[in-house]
Amino acid sequence: MTNITAAEIRYIKLGRGGMWAQDCFERSELHFGYHNVPHELCAVGDWTAVAALMENQDRKPGKAKDMTREICDFYTLNEDCLWITIADRHLWWAFAKPDVEWLDPTDTQRPSRIRKTLGPWRREDISGNALGLDSLSTKLTQVGNYRQTICRVRAADYLLNRINCIEDPIAARARTIRLEMIDVASSMIRQLHWAEFEIMIDLIFSRSGWQRVSELGGTMADIDMILEQPTLAERASVQVKSSASQAVLNKHIEYFNRSGIHARTFFVCHSPKGNLSVPDDAGIHLWTGKALAGIAVESGLFDWLLERTT
pLDDT in tens, 165-185: 999 899 899 999 999 999 999
The architecture CATH gives domain 169-307: 3-Layer(aba) Sandwich (3.40)
pLDDT digits (tens, 9 = 90+) for 105-127: 888 899 999 999 999 999 999 99
Percent of the chain, pLDDT > 90?
83
Q: How far apart are CA 204 and CA 201, in angstroms?
A: 5
Instruction: Over range 192-204, report the average pLDDT.
Output: 95
Q: If you compute the radius of gyration of the chain from its CA atoms, what whole number of angstroms results?
A: 29
pLDDT at res. 216: 76
Residue 259 binned pLDDT confidence (cut-offs 50, 70, 90): confident
Query: Residue 209 is which amino acid?
Result: G
Q: Which CATH number fits domain 8-163: 2.60.40, 3.30.2410, 1.25.40, 3.10.590?
A: 3.10.590
Q: What integer pLDDT is reported at residue 217 of this predicted model?
A: 63
* Strands 284-288 and 81-87, sheet pairing: unpaired
Element (H, E) at 286: strand 284-288
| pLDDT attached to residue 215 | 82
pLDDT at 290 over 60: yes
Q: Which tens digit of pLDDT belongs to each residue from 114-164?
A: 999 999 999 999 999 999 999 999 999 999 999 999 999 999 999 999 999
What is the length of the chain? Answer: 310
Q: Compute the distance between CA of residue 229 and CA of residue 49 in angstroms, rounded to an integer.
A: 66
Domain range list for the chain = 8-163, 169-307
Q: Is the pLDDT of residue 229 over 60?
A: yes
Contact 114, 32 (CB under 8 A): yes
